[in-house]
Structure 1
Amino acid sequence: MSPTPAVPELRPLAMGEMIDRAATFWRAHLKPLFVMSFGFSLVNYIVTKVAMLTTQRLAPLLYTGDAQSRGQMDPTQLMGQAGVAMALWGVLFVFLFWSYWLATMTASKYVVSVHLGEPVGPADALRRAFSRVVPMTGAYVISMGWSTLVTVLCLVPGALFGGLAFAAAVNGSNVMGAALGIIAALLAGLGAIAAMLWYFLRFMLLPPVMATEDVGAWEAFRRSGALLSGRVEPGFLGRVVVRAMILYTVMSLILISVQLVSQIPSWVVMAQYGSPFDAATMSRTPQYVLVPVELLQVFVQAGLTPIYFVFCSLFYLDMRVRREALDLERRMEAPPASPQAA
């Protein structure tokens, strides 16, 4: 099957070529990708805004005064409100990740279908995603449980050094306790970063699998892990996990840069009422001023975030081409070309 502009060629891609093709596809299909992404981005913004306003209402001590005045508050009341805030933000965190999976699955259906020569519209991609929401939620629950175990294991070294720091402080060795405490904090931070990176890499291909293959939650969990295991080329860079880590890092840097740039207008607005990095400033800033710039941020992110969804879909296709000869399979299934008229 010869490649056409509407049907990109299926073949193994080099790492740089994959990023270039993701950007090219994103530019060529910006409108449908934006349409699919904007709805999820808007819902995420609304839910986040409601959670933030609810937290400000239920835990006002966290959003008023400076650090010195907070230190003079009733510790019991302050800790209680902090617990309520952590619970609300924990629920928000779980929802946002679930929504991210659903958005990735929707875009993956669109991107993969175009590459397989069977393009679908945004509405069809959304219908496919919502028809698979139950098994996707099951796979999401499995991933959260698995990641919780990995996170605990990654935090063990920091916890051990934290225990040693506490023991040293109790025994009167303040210098040793402080040194061990710093080491514990560094190990805990690195462990948390490692756990988060592991989560995104391990389940990077699960939404495309759910979008394009009729498998259940556990089968999708195993299938995505199998596609990311082993190696596809000789050498260190031939390991799939290494390739995925390098490409994911590049894409993450792009998205983080976009996120920071898109937040500049809200920082400028909040700067009129205090430091934009202080929680109290956010509560002091009038919502009629803050909401318009935040909606602008949502608009920008909805246009640029799909490039990551495209990358995940291309990586999924690349793994199937390299491991399962998907390109040859599609060529064999293609109808024979009609003979040229004399």
Structure 2
Amino acid sequence: MNDTPGWASPGSAPSDGQKPDQSGPAEPTDRPAPAQPADQPAQPGQAPQGPGGPQWSKEQPPPAQWSAPSGPAAPGQAPPPPPPGPGWGNQPPGGYGPAGHGGYGAPGTHGGWGSGWGGPPPAAKPGIIPLRPLGVGEILDGAVSTMRTYWRTVLGISLTVAVLTELIVVLFQGLVLNDSSTEALNDPSATLSELSRAMGDAMLNSSVVFVISLVGTVIATALLTTVTSRAVLGKSVTIGEAWRDGRPQVLKLFGLICVLLLITVGVVTVGALPGLLVTIAGSNGPGVALTVLGIIGAGIVALWLAIRFSLASPALMLEKQGIKKAMSRSAKLVQGTWWRIFGIQLLAALIASVVASIIVIPFTLLAAALSGDGLTGWLSTGVGSLGWTFLIISGIGSVIGSMITFPITAGVTVLLYIDQRIRREALDLELARAAGVQGYGSTAPGATPGS
């Protein structure tokens, strides 16, 4: 019998009829009675032979530690000892044996083998997330924790990128947009050619502003991806280190964003093209209906592709992949979990939009109130008469909003990528080794791929 600490065989607890100094195992009273030999039947009124009798082997435990074979008790025979305490067959509620005797104890005990079982032990957490498959709340909390724990680096990157981006946008809007021919959009007497030219200029200006904002977003995403990936390991990184690590991939990341935009535009164009052709042919009603249906269908396809390739950015930055390989990696990681990733990305986008609106809208209203025409005049003029006061004050609000929303959107995307790799490729083992976690192996929580 193994008498090492923390181990005891089931049913070894002393019974009520045993003395404390007797340590032998008690035999259960429900053991079947041994068969009497046919040539020596028991005499009427004679009790079965007990320990030490002629029918018993000489190598027997002392009488006090072994119950007599069960069977019909003869008159005058001493009753058998009471049954043993809770053991293998008498488990207390919630456990597998007597708690506190080193056996299969109940949860929370500090006894023997298997005692204290209340679920798997907590996963290692060297940084902002535990190294196991993550829930929605843990992904969102990880993005916020990155910003809170490494706020100097995170807010420094976001603020720098947002200021530079917004400065270029404000200068462009103040110097170019106000001098363009977009005033015709507010003129009821404008001719068709003037309206067409004004709409073209407005679309061109909006495209330029979008490209400028896109470049800033790409740079912020590249740098914040490095920060978030280090934060998972519990390691800090400076702005300079983040730039040196992410700089080689910035051009590839910008190319990836452009490819995804071209795919989206191409899908929408293909969806709307049949309806446009029918409209040009002269069937206005069916053409318009077909165009609307085509745009709706193309929008659904574009959304599906956007989520399918949504993890390409962190794959490109962290795996140092090319554009095509990063898109292939994203499609592989998203496969089978499209709805989950869509829901988390949508929730993160809604949170970022709400936070940005809470900050930007008051600054916009304040800018309109302090501008020359006031709030009423601003609501009635439109894009053709934006003043410098309005552009500067509203730009400050945009900088503050971007400074907060950049880390949220980038952090959620990176943590989704890490979560999917933990689920499919057991990345938590690599992360634990990189973080220096001792004793984290294949038996660690969350180490099984696909959990």
TM-score, scaled to structure 2: 0.60
Tell me, in whole angstroms, the C-alpha distance in 1 between the residues paired with 2:316 and 2:252: 8
Structure 1 residues 277 and 222: CA distance shift in structure 2, 3 A: farther
Partner in structure 2 of residue 223 of structure 1: 329
Tell me, in whole angstroms, the C-alpha distance in 1 between the residues paired with 2:356 and 2:432: 40
Tell me, in whole angstroms, the C-alpha distance in 2 between the residues paired with 1:98 and 1:189: 27
Residue 48 of structure 1 aligns with an amino acid whose one-letter code is V
Would the aligned equivalents of 1:106 and 1:126 in 2 still touch at CA under 8 Å? yes
Residue 154 of structure 2 aligns with an amino acid whose one-letter code is L
Residue 49 of structure 1 aligns with an amino acid whose one-letter code is V
Residue 209 of structure 1 aligns with an amino acid whose one-letter code is A
Would the aligned equivalents of 2:271 and 2:298 in 1 still touch at CA under 8 Å? yes
| 1:260 and 2:382 matched | no
Structure 1 residues 43 and 289: CA distance shift in structure 2, 3 A: same
Tell me, in whole angstroms, the C-alpha distance in 1 between the residues paired with 2:386 and 2:214: 28
Partner in structure 2 of residue 146 of structure 1: 263
Residue 376 of structure 2 aligns with an amino acid whose one-letter code is G
**Offset from partner CA, 1:10-62 (integer Å, 9 cap, x none):** 21012233223333333333332111111221222123223323122122424
Would the aligned equivalents of 1:98 and 1:140 in 2 still touch at CA under 8 Å? no
| 1:34 and 2:158 matched | no
Within 5 Å, which residues of 2 pair with 1:35-54?
35-53=156-174, 54=176
Tell me, in whole angstroms, the C-alpha distance in 1 between the residues paired with 2:379 and 2:301: 26
Would the aligned equivalents of 1:15 and 1:243 in 2 still touch at CA under 8 Å? no
Tell me, in whole angstroms, the C-alpha distance in 1 between the residues paired with 2:436 and 2:356: 45
Count of residues paired in the alignment: 312
Tell me, in whole angstroms, the C-alpha distance in 1 between the residues paired with 2:184 and 2:348: 34
Structure 1 residues 31 and 47: CA distance shift in structure 2, 3 A: same
| Greater RCO, 1 or 2 (C-alpha within 8 Å, sep 6+) | 1
- 1:180 CA drift (Å): 7.2
**Offset from partner CA, 1:178-228 (integer Å, 9 cap, x none):** x974x4675466457546644642342222122211222222222222222
Q: Select which of 160, 178, 185 maps to 2:275.
A: 160
Structure 1 residues 98 and 293: CA distance shift in structure 2, 3 A: closer
Structure 1 residues 123 and 5: CA distance shift in structure 2, 3 A: same
Would the aligned equivalents of 1:56 and 1:283 in 2 still touch at CA under 8 Å? yes
Structure with the higher fraction of residues in helix conformation: 1
SS in 1 for 2:207: helix
Q: Select which of 313, 327, 332 maps to 2:428.
A: 327
Tell me, in whole angstroms, the C-alpha distance in 1 between the residues paired with 2:277 and 2:192: 23
Tell me, in whole angstroms, the C-alpha distance in 1 between the residues paired with 2:433 and 2:375: 65
Would the aligned equivalents of 1:32 and 1:122 in 2 still touch at CA under 8 Å? yes
Q: Select which of 124, 128, 141 maps to 2:245.
A: 128
Q: Which has the larger radius of gyration?
A: 2
Partner in structure 1 of residue 183 of structure 2: 61
Partner in structure 2 of residue 137 of structure 1: 254
Would the aligned equivalents of 2:161 and 2:216 in 1 still touch at CA under 8 Å? yes
SS in 2 for 1:305: helix
Tell me, in whole angstroms, the C-alpha distance in 1 between the residues paired with 2:325 and 2:389: 47
Within 5 Å, which residues of 2 pair with 1:285-304?
285-304=386-405
Structure 1 residues 39 and 335: CA distance shift in structure 2, 3 A: closer
Within 5 Å, which residues of 2 pair with 1:197-212?
197-198=303-304, 200-212=306-318
SS in 2 for 1:214: coil
Tell me, in whole angstroms, the C-alpha distance in 1 between the residues paired with 2:177 and 2:386: 15
Would the aligned equivalents of 2:333 and 2:420 in 1 still touch at CA under 8 Å? yes
Structure 1 residues 7 and 23: CA distance shift in structure 2, 3 A: closer
Would the aligned equivalents of 1:154 and 1:194 in 2 still touch at CA under 8 Å? no
**Offset from partner CA, 1:221-280 (integer Å, 9 cap, x none):** 22222222x22xxxxxxxx210111111111111221232222221343252536555x3
Tell me, in whole angstroms, the C-alpha distance in 2 between the residues paired with 1:316 and 1:19: 13
Question: How well do the aligned residues superpose, as a CA RMSD in angstroms?
Answer: 3.2
Structure 1 residues 196 and 95: CA distance shift in structure 2, 3 A: farther
| 1:313 and 2:414 matched | yes
Partner in structure 2 of residue 115 of structure 1: 232
Tell me, in whole angstroms, the C-alpha distance in 2 between the residues paired with 1:199 and 1:43: 31
Residue 278 of structure 2 aligns with an amino acid whose one-letter code is G
Tell me, in whole angstroms, the C-alpha distance in 2 between the residues paired with 1:324 and 1:332: 15
| 1:20 and 2:141 matched | yes
SS in 1 for 2:310: coil
Tell me, in whole angstroms, the C-alpha distance in 2 between the residues paired with 1:163 and 1:51: 39
Tell me, in whole angstroms, the C-alpha distance in 2 between the residues paired with 1:9 and 1:332: 14
Segments of 5+ residues of structure 1 without an aligned counterpart are 170-176, 232-239
SS in 2 for 1:10: coil
| 1:269 and 2:367 matched | yes
Tell me, in whole angstroms, the C-alpha distance in 1 between the residues paired with 2:183 and 2:437: 71
Structure 1 residues 270 and 334: CA distance shift in structure 2, 3 A: closer
Would the aligned equivalents of 2:252 and 2:323 in 1 still touch at CA under 8 Å? yes
TM-score, scaled to structure 1: 0.77
